[in-house]
Every structure is written in structure tokens, then in C-alpha cells.
Amino acid sequence: MAKSRGTQSSVKHDPTALGRGFKRRLKSNDILLGGMVSEYLRPSLVKHYRYAGFDFIFVDKEHIFFDGLEMSDFVLCARDNQLPVISKIGELNRPETARLLEAGVVGIQLPRTESREDLMTLVEFVKFTPVGSRAAAPGFGNVDYVPPEDGAAWIKKANLSTVIVAHIETRKGYENAEEIVTTPHVDMVYVGPYDFSISMGHPGDYDHPDVKKGIQKILDLCLKHGVPFGTTTSGPKAAGQLIARGCRFFEVNDEFQWIREGARREVSEYRKYC
């Protein structure tokens, strides 16, 4: 009788596959849509976003406070559902960056990116040697709680799987856009439209000609240097116009927006009979 192997899987586990697959899709010019999360950091939201058809999840950790446990549970659920998580951080901070990576996020988005120096500091925190100086802790969500058998191979592949996102939203970032776009290891460039519209003198008006012109300039630089560009738009029609010009990813909207819109629409339909 053959010896039982219990529940041990014969399939070799690769915890870096999710991030590397996401980066391959970026390079293939797929249009990637990200569902944003501002407060409701629950595994059920992962299920809703997967059902909706999103390609990744974006978590805003700049404006909203999340504790460690809920973030870890949420990211682990997203990984189990094959949804990569990109997380914004509040500021350049090595411990916070490390905790997010250990939780299993595939990418870090740096708000108020204003220089190449900012991004190279982030690269230092995100990448292992010889690229950066990230400390190794292969026992958490970053490996799906399956420690790698070959540490050297894991580190090499992990460096290829992590995503660096530059987030331009200030006048200084706009003025330094080319040095930001051409920074080594930058995988994505995102323009934060609300703060960018403020910096251009038109708060909240994403479609103002001055705002659109500034966004187009950054988009053109990304196309010139082969770096995927993304943003958040006023709606699908504006997104379609940007896609035609070369935009490749969108952080679409958050759960608040859909709750508001869905609730308002439902109440409005009921009121027709009241």
C-alpha cells in the first residue's frame, strides 16, 4: 500500500505569481480597473469586487486609518481570490511599507510623489538586495503563510513581483514629471485628479481644460518612456477618451460612491410609487 501523503499538495507554491502576473498584464497593454477601498475593509468586499470583474484592489491608507489585523485579513482574502492589492501609504516610511508588503500587497503607491529621490527611497524600502534593503520576513501573507523552500530564489522573484506606483498630484510633481516617470523600477504612474485639479487652480473640476492638459502632458511622458499611466476620471465617458489616448489603468471609485449611488437610485425608484 502506498504511503499516504496526507493533505500535502504536489503543486509547487509560488507566492510571487500574483504580482508578476499583474505586471505582465500592465506590460501587455491590458486596460486594468481597480476597485478602491476607503473604509469597509472586509473580505466580503473582496468577493463583491471580484464578482464585479475588477482586475485589482486599491486601498487608501493615506486618508483612512486601518488597524493591522483587518488589513492583513483583507489582503489575504484578496490574494486567495486572485485580486492583487495596491496600497497607498501616508508617507515614506520603512516600517509601514514593510508591514504592507508582509501582509501580501503587491504594490505600494506613494502619494505626493514630487521627485526621483522620493521614489528611489521607496524602491529602497520595497526591494530586496541587491536593488534595495528590504528586510526579509517570509512567513506571513507575503508568502501566503507557506515559507519558501529556496530563499534566494524567492527573493529574486519577489523583487520582480513588487510594484512601485508614483502618484503625481502637486504642482511640484507636475513640474518634475519627466524625472518621476523615468525613475528606475517605477511600474505605474497615477495622477490623483482631485488634488491635481486643486494644484492647477480648479478644485474638483477633473474635466477643466487646464486640468486635462496637465494630465495629458504626464500621459504623453508615460507613453514616451513606456510606463503605464492611470488616473481616476469623472466617469466612463472621460475614461474612454483617456483610453483612446493611451491610459492603461484606472482606480475607479470606492465603496462609498457605490453605496450612495445604489441607495439613492433605489429610494428614487420606490418614491415613484409613493
The 10s digit of each residue's pLDDT in 4-22 is: 444 454 457 899 999 999 9
The residue among 17, 230, 222 whose CA lies nearest residue 109 is 230
Structural domain count, the chain: 1
Give the CATH number, domain containing residue 178.
3.20.20.60
Query: Which residues are CB-neighbours of 76 under 8 A, at least 6 positions away?
Result: 103, 104, 141, 144
CA distance 168 to 272: 44
Please list the ranges in the chain whose pLDDT falls under 70.
Answer: 1-11, 67-68
Answer whether residue 104 is part of any domain: yes
Q: What pLDDT does 226 receive?
A: 96
- The reported pTM is 0.91
Q: Does residue 43 lie in a domain region?
A: yes
In a domain, 233, yes or no: yes
Residues of the domain holding 229: 17-268
CA-to-CA distance for 254 and 64, rounded, in angstroms? 12
